[in-house]
Amino acid sequence: MLRLGFKPDFPDKCESQVEQIRSSVNHAPKGFPDLRGLLWSSIDNDTSRDLDQIEVAEQVNGGIRVRVGVADVSASVPKGSPIDKFAAFQTTTVYTGVHNFPMLPDELSTDLTSLNENEDRAAVVIEFVVDARGQRSHPSIYEAVVRNKAQLAYSKVGAWLEEKAGPDSKVAASASLQQQLRLQNQAAQMLREHRVSNGALEFHRLEADPVVIDGEVRSIEEAPKNLATELIEDFMVAANETMAEMLRSAGRSCIRRIVRTPERWDRIVELVCRYGTQLPTEPDSGLLNAFLRKQRQLDPVHYPDLALAIIKLMGPGEYVLSRGDDPEPLGHFGLAARDYTHSTAPNRRFPDLVMQRLVKALIAKQPAPYSDNELAEIAAQCNLQERASRKVERTMQKRIAAVALSSSIGKMFRGVVTGASPKGTYVRVFDPPVEGKVVEGEKGLDVGDTVSVKLLHTNPQMAFIDFAFVKGQGHR
């Protein structure tokens, strides 16, 4: 953390500010709509404590009304306060697998500004109606008082929605909650199908989820991907689009989350051609996703390596200033979205906290709290720290994986090349889904090649996982 420019510890001024917030926080401000009677719920990881959003849906004329309640962090953390200055520098919570370094003090992010179960909280509600075609209409953003009626987990809700397991105790005890979750899932699937029909990409990649018990690495497992994770993902995408659209319509500047048109589209075309499909020379996300969907059906076992290779070739997302008078703002290639931002996780991402302040100023018909120059500087800092956080997290994932793989020296693994440059060639093996460096036989390998490699060496302290490429083992 220190080497990559982070401050792992909060300054003393933040502690005194937390005490001030604790003594003055108002979880049910007067004058706000009281939505505590709705059947709000949250779905997150099994161990999540920083709950940024809750959801509720209802059948209405013309479709399904979806409300996403986002924790009102800005009411407790004023711009320019000690906690805000720390958050503006860090810009993100860093998750290392064995310890989290929060952007906001735990007393806030997991308590006072977290949408905890059975607690009254102030929230910024993003509302829209989803019709049968998956299109959004009747957008609205406002402040309200809410109460999370059920804190749920991806692993259990997803298995239940997919009819692979029975409901957990909370869902089983409430027929209304069961109906609510099914309605949310219906709306989410309609949103997803509409997004995909417009060219959004679906990757379904494998991600590592270390099992660490009492500080000891037990294993590396595949992170869950199911209907529950898709539900939240679809709602968050729709909420972020609604936020960006509303600010653009009002002529207000903001920070957008974009993915540029891929610079290495020619390499993507080359990879896809190996599977018998020809893509056009000009980037087309719709045709690319049609190929990805088809390939996932034809070869689900090897699909994740293809998806990962294309993700790497597309390049990372980034934050940019979007001026209020910009007639053609930059969009998100992967989501096929003209308007997109990050606004649903203000406890753990600074751009989301900034966006919350911007939209609350719009609601109150007040001047924007940031100038364009300030927003541009914030976007640049967020990009810098996001890259750094990825390095921290990736290095820690490799350390954890190195411990988990220490008894597998000499074993063979199948994987995909994820990086090939003068700095080195890297491969991500499929089972377990971890990444290492190819230190023998790497010449000639390129991003997207599927290979067989032998584990040569691990060093948890240095975060080294070293492989040798084994020729003649199905390389393509």
What pLDDT, on a 0 to 100 scale, did the predictor assign at position 398?
87
Residue 38 has pLDDT above 80, yes or no: yes
Q: Is residue 287 located within the same domain as residue 413?
A: no
203-241 residue pLDDT tens: 766 667 777 777 777 777 777 789 999 999 999 999 999
Can you tell me whether residue 152 is helix, strand or coil? Answer: strand
**Under 8 Å CB-to-CB from 421, ≥6 apart: which residues?**
none
Least confident residue range of 68-72, 297-301, 385-389: 297-301
The pLDDT confidence band at residue 475, using thresholds 50, 70 and 90, is low
Can you tell me whether residue 68 is helix, strand or coil? Answer: strand
**pLDDT (average), residues 59-76:** 97
**Under 8 Å CB-to-CB from 448, ≥6 apart: which residues?**
267, 271, 306, 309, 310, 312, 313, 416, 417
Q: Is residue 108 located within the same domain as residue 207?
A: yes
**pLDDT (average), residues 55-64:** 97
427-440 residue pLDDT tens: 988 888 888 999 99
211-220 residue pLDDT tens: 777 777 777 7
Domain of 462, in residue numbers = 406-469
Q: Is residue 101 located within the same domain as residue 131?
A: yes
The pLDDT confidence band at residue 1, using thresholds 50, 70 and 90, is very high
Q: Is residue 219 located within the same domain as residue 305?
A: no
Angle between helices 12-24 and 82-90 (to 10 degrees): 120
Residue 423 has pLDDT above 80, yes or no: yes
Q: Is residue 171 located within the same domain as residue 308?
A: no
Q: Provide the token pair at 211.
A: 């099992």
Task: Kindly state whether residue 348 falls inside one of the protein's structural domains.
Answer: no
Q: Provide the token pair at 156.
A: 């259990």
What pLDDT, on a 0 to 100 scale, did the predictor assign at position 190?
98
Q: Output the domain CATH number for residue 444.
A: 2.40.50.140
Q: Is residue 270 located within the same domain as residue 125?
A: no
- Give, as one character, the DSSP assignment of residue 109: I
More confident: 397 or 236: 236
Of 427, 319, 432, 429, give the one whose Cα is nearest residue 383.
319
For 250-302, where are the alpha helices, taking DSSP H only?
Answer: 265-273, 285-298
Task: Kindly state whether residue 384 falls inside one of the protein's structural domains.
Answer: no
368-386 residue pLDDT tens: 999 999 999 999 999 999 9
Asked whether 15 and 30 are in contact (CB, 8 A), the reply is no
User: Peptide bond preceding 432: is omega within 30 degrees of 0, i.e. cis?
Assistant: yes
Which contiguous run of DSSP H or E holds residue 178?
helix 175-197
Least confident residue range of 59-63, 100-104, 145-149, 418-422: 418-422
Task: Kindly state whether residue 252 falls inside one of the protein's structural domains.
Answer: no
Q: Note the pTM of the prediction, 2 decimals.
A: 0.88
Report the alpha-carbon angle 157-163-165, nearest 5.
65
Bridge partner residues of 150 (DSSP): 41
- The mean predicted confidence, pLDDT, of the chain is 92
Task: Kindly state whether residue 374 falls inside one of the protein's structural domains.
Answer: no
Q: Is residue 24 located within the same domain as residue 90?
A: yes
Q: Is residue 17 located within the same domain as residue 110?
A: yes
What pLDDT, on a 0 to 100 scale, did the predictor assign at position 301?
65
317-364 residue pLDDT tens: 999 999 999 988 889 998 989 999 999 999 999 999 999 999 999 999
What's the total number of domains in the chain?
Answer: 3
Q: Is residue 34 located within the same domain as residue 63?
A: yes
Q: What residue has token string 């967020």? A: 382
Task: Kindly state whether residue 108 falls inside one of the protein's structural domains.
Answer: yes
Residue 182 has pLDDT above 70, yes or no: yes
Least confident residue range of 100-104, 182-186, 434-438, 445-449: 445-449
Q: Is residue 280 located within the same domain as residue 426?
A: no
Task: Kindly state whether residue 302 falls inside one of the protein's structural domains.
Answer: yes
Q: Is residue 239 located within the same domain as residue 109?
A: yes
Q: Any idea how long the chain is?
A: 476
What pLDDT, on a 0 to 100 scale, did the predictor assign at position 205?
64
Task: Kindly state whether residue 162 falls inside one of the protein's structural domains.
Answer: yes
CA distance 268 to 447: 10
Task: Kindly state whether residue 255 falls inside one of the protein's structural domains.
Answer: no
Q: Is residue 310 located within the same domain as residue 415?
A: no
